[in-house]
Structure 1
Amino acid sequence: MGELPPLLRLPPSLRRRIYGFVGLTASSITPGTLGRFDLHGGLVDPYAPSATASTFHGLLLSCRTIHAEAAAIVYSCNGFILRYDPANPEPLRPLHALTATALASLTSLTIILNQASCHQIGYTDLGYCCVEGRDDKWSGLTECEFKHGDLHQSPLLAHGDNDFAAAQHLLAEWSLAAARLSSVPAGRLELALVCDIDPSHKRALEVASLVTAPLRLLPQLRDCRIRLCKIPDARLQQIAWDSVLQARHTAAPPYYSPMPSARTKATLVGLPRELRLRILEHTDLIAPGREVTWSRQDQGYLTVARGDYFEEDDLRVFFHCWNSSESFPFFHGCFCRRRHAAFSSACKCWAPPGPLFLVCRTLYQDAQFTFFSGNRFIVHDYKTSRCWALPGFREWSNENLEQPEWSQEPEETYTVSPYSYPESRFAASQFLREVVPAHCLAYLRFLELVFPPYLAQTWPRGDHPVLQDWQATVDWLLDKVDAPALTLRLAGAEVHYESPSEYHEIIPKSEGDDIAKAHLDLTRPLKALADVGLARFFFRFPCPWEFTMDCLRRSEMRSQIEAKQRRDKASFERMVLGERYKHQYADGREEPGPSYWVLAYDRL
């Protein structure tokens, strides 16, 4: 018998360290990270050590013993991605080529059959979901289209019946490849599956079911994530939800389903209304923190706006599940149920539970009452993603600096003057007139209207149509809201350090006066609500004259500025409430605490 190779003479623990240092596992060099390899070849995680498969490929070929040890480490300590390439005659061949050792060791695999938006692209993605719904560069949409838009595919079946033959071929290839995973030990593999389908196609549900069908033949998965459409679709989400639970051998909770059920109706409708309402308070009708934001830009309800970093117990995890405190979580891809027809146990993002509004008329009415009476409602006049963001200007004002070609971004064009108010009505008017059903206005208990720190030229003034519409909206509300039960707060965001330079320039006192008059124009119509018994009114805007002085002087006069802000607050609240102003602070009563958008950005 020949002598053992030098490597095999070393203790197993020492060999394991050597395997790590040659790149078999990223965690040996960067603790907590996970190397991610493309099964077609190459390292897809830009933050992992610089080693590629070529640096340790020789180990896998050296001898049977070392191959078994090295393969077990590679496939157990790294994640793998396999993309379906329709131009390749064997698009999923790498999965067929895996050895028994590799399959038995595999712990993390992502299968991308079709992707219509960013999904684990790598460095160019930077963790942004490109369908997040915002129009500034922070959404990733601009960044995504500019840098790698050619990598996006059309949704499966997007071209009608002409696509169905291609879809059938994809399904056949996927079914054969998935069979290879049947030998993976139960409870070991974490599988992610992406196949973005056109939900408008008549056979979309059939194809979605066929995409997920092979998962039923696999041993129990440790975890499973499925995405079936770039945009939300309740029917496709239901298929994803069912398939994930089946793949994990997890029983469905009896109280939750993306789609309404006959059982829900039979169980709840027979109960007294008081008990039904108490039960509904423990559903997603009550948002995390009991606070719901509506943004004209997003055209939908959501929870607190994003922060860049947050911990698991931070309420912002209910807004950006793909960006959490885990190490580089965005390379798992985006399986957010609020943004896609997807399901993942990692997604905690809140969205109104639409199915509860669809069960029957009785539960529809109860759900409306619970939703509108049980949450604070925050209405942003411009943006939710970054509530200090302003219309008409770029996010960054260093466009005159010379930059490398790769960082150049497309020029922004303006459809209106950057100094004009950007809309035909306040977001508050739109929310109250068009979004909240008229009969639900009486359910509102707390309403906060948030305005960015517009320039003096941007605020509508005098007989501007926006102000006329605002006055008409308030008059229209008088007999529709339950004023004695309603608390109303007007709030303004501070200028942020990332706002365009135009918003940091020193302004003349006359412009400070104009901003103060704009605040008055905004507030004056609300006196009519107080006349019909508005319970409480609060005013919290930054001091309009703060930017009439330079930064140093502002710092020196901070106490005077804050005192002026307090005087303005009292003056505006007294103007609206009249004699009842003193009662809202009587007996130690205080203003309700700041909303989560304030805490998220240290505003106000």
Structure 2
Amino acid sequence: MHQERICHWLGRRTCTHNRTFLDLPAPIRRRIYDYAGLFSGKSIYVHSLKQHHEDLDGENHNKKIFESDPCDWCDTLHFTFRLLQTCKAVYAEVSAVVYSENVFLVPYRAVDDGLRILGNITPHACNKLTNLFVHLSRVGYCPGNYILDDIKIEPIRKSRVAAWQKAAKHILTYSNPQKLSLYFICNVYPQMRIVPDVLAPFHDFPGSLKDCALRLNYSKDNHSKDDLYYMARQAAIIVSDKPTHLDQPFRFLDLPQDLQQSILKYTDLITPTNEVRWNPQRGFYYKFPREELSAEYYDRRVFQYCADYHFELGCFCMRDHCVYSSRCRCWRPPQALFLVSRAMCESSRAVFYSYNRIIIIPLVGIWKGRSPLLAGLETFIFITKFLKPDTLSYLRYLELVCPPFQTHDPLTSSDPVPYVHWQSIIDSLRTHANLPALTIAVYMTRFEPPIYSIGNDSRQRVTDKAFEEGNFTMDSDQDLTLRPYLDILLPFRSLTRMGRFFEINCRLSEVEMCLEQKVMGSGYDSRALGKADIKLSQWLQAVRSYFRDSH
């Protein structure tokens, strides 16, 4: 490396210094590289020089005000490239930084060239790699072909799969074990036959990766989603299997019962908002709250992106995609915990029903009106048919949602079935539930659409408004006006040892108190028991916010 000495720039004719830049301590040289503009801590797109990187990395170029302005991103890349060509010593230092401190991405727009380049990088570079993203295909192939963002979606060719196998074999052969993290996307559906070939490199190099995330389909809505998930999971675990020194597994079930439950509280048995919905058609299900509606009630971490979301390449969230990732911490249904063993199922049931608010949603939804004769149908099915009797003792908060009903439709009927339903619910709770620890909240309202003729859209608006505000026509006989409510609520009076009972009706606190005292007694005060401090359920927040925003 020949260059003028600094003494010449200082005006000295002769220079007796024999030391060079490489004689500086390594940390000092690294600081000089960084100050000069060494490319580190960024994303490097692997593609052919024929394709300008503005096509792949337009975000950084969009920061330019004028097209003729210099691009700092390009300048940094060019400077790093020149450093690599300086000499062998500088190349060794700089290349170690470039490959170990940057994220390398093979995008779907340049996957063929990117795989070819990966298959030809030096073993030294493979050994230094720490983060690699490969996007083999963008979305699943549609047999009729179609255009998406100016890209023709075609089936994954055998030549591309072969190129991937060659590149993966080269990288994994020379990579440093347990150092490289590989993120791989190949949306194979409906080309299921190529899955074994795509996953072959992961099975051939067990324990070679530090971490691995595999996404085999964008959507989870097809019938093969479970098969694809388990294949991705198996391949990722094999290739990133870490050596263990444990002689035998930890015997979790030997722990005391209360300690088991304390540990299980940190699993997905408890939802992010401590509530779960149920109806006879769907069973248990959970909906993530909208941030603009619920951020004031819940921890903002509920609404953040998945921990394995990457802007440059894509999302590896197991909640939304057919993917396996060890970094995704998003909530998912915890069915597996209930299937381990009977003992584990018992501990899981205790945690699930004790720490979540169980909300019974009507089959018709929360907007469509229905006769109060059917108000207890879903609750009857849940309490007497769906749950085992011994599970009722774990319930701590049960919320019953009744759809809006007509005013002149009391529960009195010649048909005794509705009464039998409510009586069965009450009998089961009285016999098996832990009543002093149980809170029951009942949400119901009624509507009275105007008697004059209106269109369907107007009728829906009137109905929705009445559902939100309650549409009471209070007369001299209050009990008569509240008759449909009393017919539903009065059976709960036999639960004499019930801890708390809440009746919820938007903006009608005096009616709520009246109905609650009809059930619990004249001296009952729900506000003293913390009714105002309890967070609203997600569905009720959404209803209130909808009407607040629409006015």
Bin for the TM-score computed over the shorter chain: 0.5 to 0.7
Query: Could you say which residue in structure 2 is the equivalent of 1:294?
Result: 277
Partner of 2:86: 65
For 1:488, what is the secondary structure of its paired residue?
strand
Query: Cα deviations across residues 413-471 of structure 1 (Å, max 9, x unaligned)?
Result: xxxxxxx65999999965763798242673433123579xxxxxx94434789999998
User: Offset at 1:170?
Assistant: 5.4
Question: Equivalent residue of 1:377, what SS?
Answer: strand
Is residue 2:130 matched to residue 1:107?
Answer: yes
Query: Contact 2:184–2:213 at 8 Å: present in 1 too?
Result: yes
- Confirm or deny that 1:338 pairs with 2:281: no
Matching of residue 461 in structure 1 with residue 369 in structure 2: no
Which runs of 5 or more structure 2 residues have no equivalent in the other structure?
Answer: 7-19, 22-27, 63-70, 141-145, 445-458, 475-480, 546-551
Q: 1:575 pairs with 512, 518, 524, which one?
A: 518
1:321 and 1:347 in contact (8 A); partners too: no
What is the match of residue 68 of structure 2?
Answer: none
- C-alpha change, 1:97 and 1:146, in structure 2 (3 Å) is closer
CA distance in 1, matches of 2:338, 2:213: 27
Per the alignment, residue 396 of structure 2 pairs with 445
**Deviations 1:289-340, CA, capped at 9 Å, x for gaps:** 78232277987534863537999xx8564x567346x9x8554632233334
In structure 2, the residue corresponding to 1:216 is in which secondary structure?
coil
Return closer, same or farther for 1:100/1:293 CA change in 2, 3 Å cut-off: same
Larger radius of gyration: 2
Counterpart AA for 2:339:
L
Which residue of 305, 308, 313 corresponds with 1:322? 305
Amino acid at match of 2:106: L
Q: How many aligned residue pairs are there?
A: 465
Instruction: Go from structure 1 to structure 2 and tell me whether the alpha carbon gap of 1:590 and 1:434 turns closer, same or farther (over 3 Å shift).
Output: closer
TM-score by length of 2: 0.60
* 1:539 aligned residue (469, 489, 503): 503
Instruction: Show CA shifts across 1:493-544 (max 9, x none).
Output: xxxxxxxxx9999x9999955278999956751332333444421234431x
Q: 1:80 to 1:465 in 2, by over 3 A?
A: farther
Q: 1:152 to 1:448 in 2, by over 3 A?
A: farther
1:226 aligns with 2:202: no
| 2:115 pairs with one of 75, 84, 92 | 92
- Residues 1:487 and 2:442 are matched in the alignment: no
Q: Secondary structure at the match of 1:349?
A: coil
Structure 2 Cα separation of the partners of residues 528 and 193 of structure 1: 58
1:477 partner amino acid? I
* SS of alignment partner, residue 180 of structure 1: helix
> Who is 1:216 aligned against?
206
Instruction: Report if aligned partners of 1:84, 1:91 keep a CA contact under 8 Å in 2.
Output: no
Distance 1:228 1:309, change over 3 A: farther
The one-letter amino acid of 1:224's match is C
Q: Distance in 2 between matches of 1:460 and 1:190?
A: 57
Q: Deviations over 1:206-243 (max 9, x none)?
A: 5675363255263x42x332334442956654554454
Question: In the TM superposition, what is the alpha-carbon distance from 1:574 to its structure 2 partner?
Answer: 1.8
User: Is the deviation greater in 514-523 or in 241-250?
Assistant: 514-523
User: What secondary structure does 2:324 align onto?
Assistant: strand
User: 1:193 deviation in Å?
Assistant: 1.9
> SS of the residue aligned with 1:287?
coil
Alignment of 1:366-385 (within 5 A): 367-378=348-359
Q: 1:175 aligns with which of 165, 171, 181?
A: 165
Q: CA RMSD in A?
A: 6.1
Letter of the aligned partner of 2:392 in structure 1?
Answer: A
Structure 1: stretches of 5+ with no match in the other structure: 28-33, 118-144, 157-165, 255-262, 385-389, 392-419, 452-457, 493-501, 544-564
Q: Residue 3 in 1 paired to residue 41 in 2? A: no
Structure 2 counterpart of 1:212, which letter?
F
Of the three residues 173, 190, 193, the one matched with 2:181 is 190
Matched position secondary structure for 1:567 = helix
**1:4-60 CA distance string (max 9 Å, x none):** 699x9897645433426xxx45x6xxxxxx446354663656655655875556446
Amino acid paired to 2:291: G
Query: What are the superposed Cα offsets for residues 79-136 of structure 1, whole Å, 9 maximum, x if unpaired?
Result: 3322467x9876722322445565455332212234548xxxxxxxxxxxxxxxxxxx
Q: Is this contact kept in 2: 1:321–1:346, CA < 8 A?
A: no
Report the CA distance shift for 1:571/1:464 in structure 2 as closer, same or farther (over 3 A): closer
For 1:142-183, what per-residue CA distance to the aligned partner results, in whole angstroms no more than 9, with x for missing partners? xxx9985978888x8xxxxxxxxx5x7655433211123233
What CA distance in whole angstroms lies between the structure 2 residues aligned with 1:90 and 1:214? 24
Distance change >3 Å, CA 310–CA 512, structure 1 → 2: closer
**Per the alignment, do residues 236 and 360 of structure 1 end up closer, same or farther by CA in structure 2, a change over 3 Å counting?**
farther
When residues 52 and 248 of structure 1 are mapped into structure 2, their CA distance, relative to the original with a 3 A threshold, is farther
Residue 352 of structure 1 and its aligned partner are, at CA, apart by: 3.4
Is the CA contact 2:215–2:321 (under 8 Å) kept in the aligned structure 1? yes
Normalising by structure 1, report the TM-score.
0.56
Once the two structures are TM-superposed, the CA of residue 287 in structure 1 deviates from its matched residue by: 0.9
1:40-55 → structure 2 map (5 Å cutoff): 42=53, 48=60, 50=62, 51=71, 55=75
Correspondence for 1:411: none
Alpha-carbon contact 1:304-1:596 (below 8 Å) kept = no
**Maintained 8 Å contact 2:294/2:541:** no
Match of 2:291 in 1: 307
Amino acid at match of 2:439: T
CA distance in 2, matches of 1:423, 1:61: 75
